[in-house]
Structures are given as structure tokens and as C-alpha cells.
Amino acid sequence: MTATPHTGRRQNKWFHYGFIGLAGPLCLAFLIPFARSQSGMGGLNQLLDGTGDLQTILTDMLFLAFFTGLLLLISVAVSGRLEEESMLISLLLGLLVTGAPFLLFLQRELLQTNLVYEDNGLIYGIAFLYYIWLLVFRAVRLSRWTMKNRTLGIAIVGLLVAMNITLGMVGVTTPVVRITFAFLPTALIGMLFGPWIGGFGAVMADILGFIIGPGVGGFFPGFTLSAFLTGLIYGLFLNKRDVTLKRIIMAEVLIALFVNLTLNTIWIHILTQNPIAVLLPPRLIQNAVMVVVRIATVRFFAGNKQMKKIYAKFSTARH
């Protein structure tokens, strides 16, 4: 019995789910760290320090080579089938699988868990960021950009992510609220490139800002989720549409009510154990002020003539 195109697509779908969505991420984020822990790990560190026996060093190097080879193999499997819907689902599944141990590792002291291995932080981080990169790459690759605009678009996203990190470190402090403009690059990414790139750009800014910036406190995945949702909302309301004052107000009010006042208040409650009734009143005042600042700022840049030219050239709204 001959195979039909439908049968081939179905087989590809299950290959995507099985290898790219489950088996690959499980090997990257669970099996390899577990195997390194059982073999004594630290082989690479011992090689750099000039200590340790040859067998431990070679065993650890073998695990790291397998880790690198698996990343390359997944890249090859992904690159030829980016347009398939099953690939998107597989990448999102892989993001969840690799994200769980990475977030557990970052919160290991708070959660007091033994489910992750201390010396595998770099392995967890690379696996998680790798799947974020694959999703961003897919979104960029399947956009309407020409090759020239795609390259420039990636550069613009990178520049805006860097601006997000920088603006998050500075601000104007008033007796009522500390005003920062880190939201503006996130809004511009969502406006220009859509909800998915807007969301993942905000995630990259959040994670990189934690790694390289003098942040207050440790990393918390709830705030990363909030960052993703903020970029997603900007893209949903402002991309492929006329950026009117009404749409800006709708986006900012939704972000303020759902992301800032609801989700972020819950995250702060989890971290500080302060009652929500204590946290909410000052946050209501802060967000009331910031909504006005955000609406005015986004409106100003959206109405700028140079910004409109950039939007017309790079926005995925182009037909």
C-alpha cells in the first residue's frame, strides 16, 4: 500500500512532537544533566583547572559533545519545516520542557528543591534560550520581510531589546511613582513585528536584563511571563492596524489591569508574602499615573513621521 501525502504529513507531525517537542528537550534538559551528575560532572572545570583524572574529563567532554550535537541535529530538523503548524506546537512544547528545569534551577534556593543539579546551570540556560531563539527565528523567517528587510528587522529587534534593558536601569523617581520608559521598546517591537516577536523580544529583554543588569532581587519566572504577555498585547492591538489613540488606550488599560495589577501583584505577593490588600492600593496609584505616561509616550512615537516611515517599511502589516 503506497503512502499518501496525508500520511507523510501525519508522520512528520508525530516526528515533530516526538523528537523536537519531547525527546530532544528531555535529553537536553534532563538526561544529559542527570548523566553528568552521575559521572561526577565538573570534567570541563577540572580540565580548565588542571585537576581531576582523565576519565572524568573525557566522560564530561563526551556529554557536552552529545549536547552540542543534539542542538545541531534539532536545528537541521527544524530548518526545513518551519512553515508547518506542528513545528510551532513542537517548539512551544520544547520551550515548556526546557523551561521547567531552568526555572527550577534559578529558584532552587527559594523552592529548596533537589530536582536540578547545581553545576548544570549553563546547560539548563542554553537549552531554554535555544528554544526561544528557534521560535523567534521561525517568526522572523515566516514573516513578509524580504531578505534585505529581514536582516534589518533582526537588527532593529536587537537594538530595541538592548534599549529595553538600558531604559529599565534608569528612571525618574517621584514621591508617587518611579517612571521608566522600558515599556517603549517593547511597544515598538510589537507595533512593528507583531505579537509573537513582540512577546519573545520582551522575554529576551527580561532574561538578559537579569543576567547582565544590576537588578533588584533574583530571577522570577512570573515576571518573564508578564513581559511576554505585555509584548503580545502590544502586537495584537497595534500591529497590522492603524495605530489610533483608541487602540493605544485599549492596549495600555489591558496591560495595566491584567498584567500589572493582577499578575505582577500576585508575583510580588508570592515573593514577599505581603498581603495583596496591602500591596494593591499603592500599585493602583502607580499604575494610574503610568497608564497616562505610557499612552502619551506611545501615541507620540506612533504619530511621529519618521516612525511612520519605519512602520511602512518593516511592519509585517505590509501587503
Write out pLDDT tens, residues 120-133. Answer: 878 888 888 888 77
Q: Which of 161-170, 214-223, 290-299, 309-318 has the lowest mean pLDDT?
A: 309-318
Q: Where are the alpha helices (DSSP H) in the chain?
A: 5-15, 24-26, 32-38, 43-49, 54-79, 85-106, 108-111, 121-141, 147-169, 183-193, 195-212, 221-238, 245-254, 265-272, 276-302, 305-314
Residue with cell 517603549: 184
> For the ranges 135-139, 205-209, 285-289, which has the lowest average pLDDT?
135-139
What is the per-residue DSSP string for 20-34? Answer: IIIIHHHIIIIIHHH
Q: Across residues 26-43, what is the average pLDDT? A: 78
Q: Which three cell numbers stand for residue 48?
A: 580548565
Please tell me which residue, 219 or 148, carries the higher pLDDT value. 219
Task: Please check the confidence at residue 216 and state whether its pLDDT lies above 60.
Answer: no
Q: Which pLDDT band, with edges at 50, 70 and 90, does 253 fall under?
A: very high
Supply the pLDDT for residue 273: 80
Select from 82, 41, 84, 34 the least CA-distant residue to 60: 41
3-state secondary structure of 304: coil
In terms of average pLDDT, the best of 51-55, 151-155, 157-161, 252-256 is 252-256
Q: With bands split at pLDDT 50, 70 and 90, how would you rate the model's confidence at 186?
A: very high
Output the pLDDT for position 274: 83
What are 15-28's pLDDT values in tens digits? 778 888 899 999 99
What is the reported pTM? 0.60
Average pLDDT over residues 215-225: 70
Q: For residue 147, name the pLDDT band (cuts at 50, 70, 90).
A: very low
Considering only residues 98 and 155, tell me which one the structure prediction assigns the higher pLDDT: 98
Residue 319 CA to residue 71 CA, distance in Å, equals 35
In this structure, are residues 234 and 279 in contact, taking their beta carbons and an 8 Å threshold? no
* N- to C-terminal Cα separation, the chain: 44
Mean pLDDT of the chain: 78
Give 76 or 54, the one with higher predicted confidence. Answer: 76
Say if residue 155's pLDDT is above 90. Answer: no
